[in-house]
Amino acid sequence: MLTKTKIYLSSPHMGGTEQDYVNEAFQTNWIAPLGPNVNGFENDIESYVGNDKKVAVLSSGTASIHIALELLGVSKGDEVLCQSFTFSASANPILYQGATPVFIDSESDTWNMSPELLEKAINDRIENYKKPKAIIAVHLYGMPYKAKEINAIADRYNIPVIEDSAEALGSTYFNKSCGTLSTLGILSFNGNKIITTSGGGALITPDEDTKNRAVFLSTQARDNAPHYQHSTVGFNYRMSNVLAGIGRGQMAVIDDRVEARRRNYEFYKKQLSTYSNIEFLEEPEGFFSNRWLTCILTDSFETREKIRLTLLEDDIESRPLWKPMHMQPVFKDAIHFSNGTSEDLFNRGLCLPSGSNLSQYDLDRILAIISKIPNL
C-alpha cells in the first residue's frame, strides 16, 4: 500500500539562500545576538514595510509585544484593551507586566476588533476610573483590521495602539503595510508563520530613538559604563545573528510566499464555494490579506467537526479557528465586551492546510477527501 505523507496546516518553507547567510555567520564567528545578519535583516524588513519605520528584530513576536508594552509604560494595575479573537500570545505579555487585559470582541467584516465595542469599552472603563493604557489590535489570519476606525477612536481618547501583525507580514491596508498603521507594530517569524527564522519576531517603531530604546531594553538594559551597570530592568530578547541569517534568506522570497498563500485561498474558494454550507471571508475594498491561513466558515459545529475529523483520518491537519481569549480558562476572570461573533466563529470555523509549500497534488488530495464527505 502506498503510504501518504502528512499534510501540515502551515509548515516552514525555505527559499534556498538561508544557509549561505547562516554559513557566513559561522565563518565570521558572529554567533551572537548582534552582527551583520541582524542589521541586514532589519534593513530588509524596513525596506519591505516602508513608511519610514525603524525595525528591531527580537527573539519572538511575544517578546516584541512585551517590549512594546514596556515602551508605552504599561505597568502593574494598568488595563490594556486586547482583541479577544486571537492567539494567547497577543494577551500574555499584558500579564507579564502585572497589568490587566480587557477583551474586545470582533465584527464580522474582517473578524477583527469591533470599533463599536472598543469605544463602548473605553467609555465603560473611564467611567470606572480605569482609563485603558493601550490597545492591542490584531490582523488575524492576515486580514487587516479596520484601522481607520480603530485609530480614530484611539486618537479621540489618546490611547496608543499596538498592532499585532504577527500573522500579517505582506498584508496591506489601503496600500500601507500592516505593522506600520499605528505607533508600534509587531511581527512573528515563528515556524508556522508566512516567513520563519525558526523562532523570532520584530518590533516596528516610528523612529531611530524608539528602536534604540527597544534594543537597549532587549539586551539587558546596560548603562553606558565600562563595568556592568543597570538603572532599569532589562530583558534578553535580541535576535541571534544566526537566525537573522535565515530571515535574510526568507525576505528574498516573501512576495512568492504571499502569492502562494493567496493562490491556496483562491483554489479552496473556487472549489468549495459550490457547497451551500461553506463560506469564505472576503477582503473589504482597500484591504489586502496575505491569506496566511485559509479559513472556512461552515453552517454548524457538527459540519466543522465532520470536515476536521475526516481530514485527520487521512493525516491532513486542519484546525478550529482561535478560541477567543474571553472563553479561555486562564482569562476566566477578565472583563470582556462581547457580541457573540468570535464565539460563533470558533464554533463553526476551520483553518485548512495553507502552507506556501503545498503542491497541486496536496490540494487535490485535500479537496478529494472533503468532496467525499456525505451530506456536505
C-alpha to C-alpha distance for 346 and 290, rounded to whole angstroms = 21
x-marked contacts with ligand PLP along 131-150 as a string, rule CB under 6 A: -------x------------
Burial 332-357 (b: 16+ CB within 10 A, else e): eebbbbbbebbbbbbbbbbbbbbbbe
Interface residues for ligand PLP in 215-274 (CB under 6 A)?
none
How near is the Cβ of 273 to ligand PLP at its closest, in Å?
27
Closest separation in Å from C-beta 188 to ligand PLP = 3
Q: What is the nearest approach in angstroms of ligand PLP to the Cβ of residue 63?
A: 7
Q: DSSP states of 241-301 as a string? A: HHHHHHHHHHHTTHHHHHHHHHHHHHHHHHHHTTSTTEEEPPPPTTEE---SSEEEEESSH
Tell me the residue number closest to ligand PLP, measured at CB: 61
Q: Cα(287)–Cα(294) distance, rounded to whole angstroms?
A: 16
**Least distance (Å) from ligand PLP to the CB of residue 352?**
17
- Minimal distance in Å, beta carbon 90 to ligand PLP? 5
Interface with ligand PLP by CB under 6 A: which range of 159-167, 230-238, 280-288, 340-348?
159-167
Smallest separation (angstroms) from ligand PLP to the CB of 111: 12
Cβ of residue 166: shortest distance to ligand PLP, in angstroms? 3
Helices 36-49 + 18-27 axis angle, to 10: 150
- Residue 61 or 132 with smaller CB distance to ligand PLP: 61
Q: Which of 18, 42, 119, 167 is in the footprint of ligand PLP by CB under 6 A?
A: 167
Based on CB atoms, which residue is closest to ligand PLP, 303 or 341? 341
One character per residue 194-213, x = contact with ligand PLP (rule: CB under 6 A)? -------x------------
Angle at 170 between CA 194 and CA 139, to 5 degrees: 85
The 66-95 contact track toward ligand PLP, x by CB under 6 A, reads --------------------xx-xx-----
CA dihedral 70, 73, 78, 83 (to 10 degrees): -60
**Among the listed residues 30, 33, 56, 60, the single contact to ligand PLP using CB under 6 A:** 60
Give 78 or 164: the residue with its C-beta nearer to ligand PLP. 164
| List 44, 79, 163, 164, residue binding ligand PLP (CB under 6 A) | 164
> Binder to ligand PLP among 81, 121, 166, 345 (CB under 6 A)?
166
| Region of 44-52, 72-80, 155-163, 164-172 interacting with ligand PLP (CB under 6 A) | 164-172
CB contact burial 246-260 (16+ within 10 A = b; e otherwise): bbbbbbebbeebbeb
Rounded CA Rg of the chain: 21
Q: Which of 114, 151, 190, 241: binder of ligand PLP (CB under 6 A)?
A: 190
Closer CB to ligand PLP, residue 291 or residue 365? 291
Contacts with 136 (C-beta within 8 Å, 6 or more apart), sequence order? 65, 80, 81, 82, 83, 90, 91, 94, 161, 162, 164
SS3 call for 67: helix
* Helix 301-313 × helix 341-348 angle, to 10°: 40
- Amino acid identity, position 122: I
Using alpha carbons, select from 65, 136, 143 the residue that is nearest to residue 97: 65
Binding interface with ligand PLP (CB under 6 A): 60-62, 86-87, 89-90, 138, 164, 166-167, 188, 190, 201
